Structure 1
Amino acid sequence: MEQGKYSVGLDIGTTKIVAIVGKENEYGKIEVLGIGRSKSLGVHRGVVNNITQTIKSIQTAVAEAEANSGLKIENVVVGIAGQHIRSLQHSDYITRSNSEDVINEEDVEKLCNQVYKLVMLPGEEIIHVLPQEFKIDGQGEIKQPMGMYGGRLEANFHVVVGQVSSIRNVGRCIKSAGLGLGNITLEPLASANAVLSQEEKEAGVALVDIGGGTTDLAIFKDGIIRHTAVIPFGGNVITEDIKEGCSIIEKQAELLKIKFGSAWPGENKDNEIVSIPGLRGREPKEITLKNLSKIIHARVVEIVEQVYVEIKNYGHEEQKKKLIAGIVLTGGGSQLKHLKQLVEYITGMDTRIGYPNEHLAGDSDEEIASPLYATAVGLLMNAVQNKPKGVSEEEEILMEETTEKEIVAEDSKIEAKKEKVKAEKSIFERFTERFKNFLDSAE
């Protein structure tokens, strides 16, 4: 199968790197063809801090995904996170030269490109420009301006900004691993695409992706992204606390957290004890599960409160900005026992765990539908949706290799399409003319 037929998402996380290969099936669902994962060694809190180790980890994950899918991976869509990410609101407008023409994609693109030229702080770069609402000649609350008449096109934007050096480091790791960089997208946006339904985005929802190094937040209301934030704490901080509090090694602390950890201390009885083997002939350590969950509880409360501060910053307490669908938790950290109940208790908002199975084909591996892979599945969806429309160099080479007959057949198809567009255009022009005549006679 050639590269054009399938897409690849690459999630460079703090604890793991996941490469996921897939394609869209005939029902519009994502069919996963192969997955590869490796331990992430060169990333700290979502930011690359060791290029060599990160390249090795990427190559390991990609090689495993290639082996599982039997396909050659060339281009990937990669996610970006880290505490250097910030977002801001911005309004901008363009004045159109001819208000008699309808607003088209070019006008919207021109307006978006204008925002990309904003002057940022030294060392910062705009990653995403997300239009929220449009205004045409002062008339507001327009979601889709294309096809409308107007002279002044205005919009509110949600602008996501990150450090140039961090983005470049990610790009360098991808290129050094022998891969092409298809697109860079913000990780909370990728996770949101994978686990949220359109109804939730309309009603108002906060997606909280608890990863190893960072906790990512994306808030949607009326189907539009309203707020994003990256909080520099995640599951690794909880493991670190267990390691310090129980005087054990990191590997044991991680296992303890996964097997016996709970975010709600009242759950465990005082006599529930777990024994941990001592190092090199030392006595085993006995830890009560109540103490373990007290350590976890203290740190989780801190993370959830930080998230809640961001939700309040967005303006959740205003009636108009209320998040009716509450909070959706995803990411590896969301698998912690009783976390859902604790989040509901602290925020008073409805909470559910988000699984990325909404957009996956029915026969997908159960493991992939785990919250752990939410970002990777979201990046794969982004790769599938944003397949380059133009003709790439690879496709040109492929075209040269195809037979003359195929080219002729393709040409006739293109001609037919052109004719169809021409016919549609002339129908539209006739309609416009009739409409103008009607207005003239009405006067």
Structure 2
Amino acid sequence: MENNKIAVGLDIGTTKIVAMIGRKNEYDKIEVVGIGKAKSLGVKRGVVSNITQTIQSIQQSVDEAESVSGLKIDEVVVGIAGQHIRSLHHSDYITRSHADEVIDDSDIEDLVNQVHKLVMLPGEEIIHVLPQEYKVDSQADIKEPIGMYGGRLEANFHVVVGQVSSIRNIGRCVKSAGLGLNEITLEPLASASAVLSQEEKEAGVALIDIGGGTTDLAIFKDGIIRHTAVIPFGGNVITDDIKEGCSIIEKQAELLKIKFGSAWPGENKETEIVSIPGLRGREPKEITLKNLSKIIHARVQEIIEHVYLEIKNYGHETAKGKLIAGIVLTGGGAQLKHLRQLVEYITGMDARIGYPNEHLAGDSDDALSSPSYATAVGLLMEGLEKKDKEVETIVEEKEVVEEEVFKPEEKTIEIEEEPVKAEEPKPKLKKKKSFLEKFTESLKDFLDNAE
């Protein structure tokens, strides 16, 4: 049973691949028992561009996490991002034949399944169908319709769509690395669960996750996801600009950005100079920090303006779309000096840096609370939540079976049969599957057939 309570989040990013193994402690906080990190070689802008290299990087990070924790990893929760991700809004309804019965899970499932039948562009597939508000008969703005009476059940949906080939490539890499695919989750949603509080989601907040290859945006209002977008720029573009602008190699550009980089040029004086060793006995290069921050500022400003355009498209200035909690910045790129101030200056909204430490156990390693691990922590949380639900469902089913099984006269005979009978309710379990689990299953089937 102990092993059932352990989950693994696998963050396949553009710069790094992280495998994080964890479980919940008695205070319902996450205890990370093992973490593995490998340089991501086969991923560009959140999309797999080299299958072999990606598989090697996944194996490397998983092996490291296994050796740290002493546990064997079987299945993982994987995050998906990339510029092929887009979101759309859709309304749909079902007419219930039994209006005299209360609305239950199966009605919601029928409605969600109907949305899954939406005709997509060629080569696209629905990743998430996220219900927003429901409407029962003529009563609007219902958050939880289960238990109500009504003939017509209607809902607004936030539908996240991605490229079939990109999703399958990730599935293929995970499978080839010898792992089972438990679930696929949109990365901005995973980061949001790790760094946003429920109050912020209620008040209205925009989460900006600045990764190596992409910048992900997720907007929440009234506790519901309202908008998602993936912008195909990230920290790597800043590094490339420094490399070109200062005529140095990528490794040096990355180090410069991390150690001395700032998004606000006014902070540095003309006299602050960094000397970079030349290649193969060449003269060392001298770079002024003011010049460096000018290069960074230009690119960061462009990224933030792209994101701000998406936020404006959502209509954040209207009374209905007002984001009271402002902006939360997370991801590796959020560690850039003075980024928060620049974001506040450009958008005019309050901003803070999001750390995933609020869900982690108190004795966790400080490195884990870095914004660059937000997605991995979010994926791990997703996996643990799924495990909890599975355990709850199994316990419920077992209780039902035990009620049927224990008849006083035949007590001993029935006890022997109990294990067999306890397995029978599996079809019921199936009924409770969410659309996400179905999506993961159909992906697994596809991968099996592809072999």
Matched, 1:263 2:251: no
SS at match of 1:140: strand
Instruction: State the Cα RMSD in Å.
Output: 1.9
Counterpart amino acid of 2:390?
K
What is residue 296 of structure 1 aligned with on the other side?
A: 296
What is residue 192 of structure 1 aligned with on the other side?
A: 192
What per-residue deviation string (whole Å, max 9, x for no partner) do you get for residues 112-168 of structure 1? Answer: 111111110000000000000000002100000001111100000000000000000
- Contact 1:265–1:294 (CA under 8 A) maintained in structure 2: yes
What is residue 386 of structure 1 aligned with on the other side?
A: 386
What is residue 321 of structure 2 aligned with on the other side?
A: 321
- Contact 1:59–1:177 (CA under 8 A) maintained in structure 2: yes
Matched, 1:331 2:331: yes
Q: How does 1:189-228 map to 2 (within 5 A)?
A: 189-228=189-228
Find the aligned partners of 2:126 and 2:368 in 1 and give their Cα distance.
Answer: 31
Matched, 1:143 2:143: yes
What per-residue deviation string (whole Å, max 9, x for no partner) do you get for residues 423-443 of structure 1? Answer: xxxxxxxxxxxxxxxxxxxxx
- Contact 1:40–1:54 (CA under 8 A) maintained in structure 2: yes
Counterpart amino acid of 2:257?
K
Find the aligned partners of 2:345 and 2:319 in 1 and give their Cα distance.
Answer: 21
Find the aligned partners of 1:200 and 1:104 in 2 and give their Cα distance.
Answer: 29
Instruction: In structure 2, list runs of 5 or more residues that go unmatched.
Output: 395-411, 426-451
SS at match of 2:302: helix
Summarize the Cα distance change of 1:197–1:410 in structure 2 as closer, same or farther, 3 Å threshold. farther
What is residue 47 of structure 1 aligned with on the other side?
A: 47
- Contact 1:3–1:74 (CA under 8 A) maintained in structure 2: no
- Contact 1:207–1:217 (CA under 8 A) maintained in structure 2: yes
SS at match of 1:14: coil
The farther-off stretch of 249-258 and 93-102 is: 93-102
1:410 deviates by: 11
What is residue 346 of structure 1 aligned with on the other side?
A: 346
Find the aligned partners of 1:113 and 1:366 in 2 and give their Cα distance.
Answer: 43
Percent sequence identity over aligned pairs: 79
Matched, 1:90 2:61: no
Counterpart amino acid of 1:25?
N
The farther-off stretch of 316-325 and 37-46 is: 316-325
- Contact 2:242–2:296 (CA under 8 A) maintained in structure 1: yes
Find the aligned partners of 1:27 and 1:155 in 2 and give their Cα distance.
Answer: 36
Summarize the Cα distance change of 1:167–1:101 in structure 2 as closer, same or farther, 3 Å threshold. same
1:2 deviates by: 5.8
What is residue 398 of structure 1 aligned with on the other side?
A: none
What is residue 167 of structure 1 aligned with on the other side?
A: 167
TM-score using structure 2 length: 0.87
- Contact 2:103–2:148 (CA under 8 A) maintained in structure 1: yes
SS at match of 1:20: strand
Summarize the Cα distance change of 1:60–1:354 in structure 2 as closer, same or farther, 3 Å threshold. same
What is residue 438 of structure 1 aligned with on the other side?
A: none
Find the aligned partners of 1:3 and 1:212 in 2 and give their Cα distance.
Answer: 33
TM-score using structure 1 length: 0.88
Counterpart amino acid of 1:234?
G
What is residue 444 of structure 2 aligned with on the other side?
A: none
The farther-off stretch of 20-29 and 171-180 is: 20-29
Summarize the Cα distance change of 1:291–1:99 in structure 2 as closer, same or farther, 3 Å threshold. same
1:409 deviates by: 10
Find the aligned partners of 1:95 and 1:26 in 2 and give their Cα distance.
Answer: 44
What is residue 116 of structure 1 aligned with on the other side?
A: 116
Find the aligned partners of 1:150 and 1:175 in 2 and give their Cα distance.
Answer: 44
SS at match of 1:319: coil
Find the aligned partners of 1:234 and 1:32 in 2 and give their Cα distance.
Answer: 27
SS at match of 2:352: strand
- Contact 1:46–1:81 (CA under 8 A) maintained in structure 2: yes
Q: How many residues align?
A: 402
1:364 deviates by: 1.2
Find the aligned partners of 1:5 and 1:137 in 2 and give their Cα distance.
Answer: 41
Summarize the Cα distance change of 1:149–1:58 in structure 2 as closer, same or farther, 3 Å threshold. same
Q: How does 1:302-313 map to 2 (within 5 A)?
A: 302-313=302-313
Counterpart amino acid of 1:193?
S
Summarize the Cα distance change of 1:338–1:91 in structure 2 as closer, same or farther, 3 Å threshold. same
What per-residue deviation string (whole Å, max 9, x for no partner) do you get for residues 256-315 of structure 1? Answer: 000000000000000000000000000000000000000000000000000000000111
- Contact 1:3–1:73 (CA under 8 A) maintained in structure 2: no
SS at match of 1:36: strand
- Contact 1:3–1:72 (CA under 8 A) maintained in structure 2: no
SS at match of 1:149: coil
Counterpart amino acid of 1:134?
Y
Runs of 4+ aligned structure 1 residues displaced above 4 Å come to 407-412
1:389 deviates by: 2.4
1:27 deviates by: 2.0
Summarize the Cα distance change of 1:149–1:263 in structure 2 as closer, same or farther, 3 Å threshold. same
What per-residue deviation string (whole Å, max 9, x for no partner) do you get for residues 351-381 of structure 1? Answer: 0000001211111111111101000000001
- Contact 2:21–2:65 (CA under 8 A) maintained in structure 1: yes
Counterpart amino acid of 1:235?
G
Counterpart amino acid of 1:215?
T
Counterpart amino acid of 1:237?
V
Find the aligned partners of 1:131 and 1:186 in 2 and give their Cα distance.
Answer: 15
- Contact 2:277–2:283 (CA under 8 A) maintained in structure 1: yes
What per-residue deviation string (whole Å, max 9, x for no partner) do you get for residues 59-96 of structure 1? Answer: 00000000111100000000000000000000001111
SS at match of 1:280: helix
- Contact 2:5–2:384 (CA under 8 A) maintained in structure 1: no
Find the aligned partners of 2:346 and 2:117 in 1 and give their Cα distance.
Answer: 41
Q: How does 1:271-290 map to 2 (within 5 A)?
A: 271-290=271-290
The farther-off stretch of 227-236 and 107-116 is: 107-116
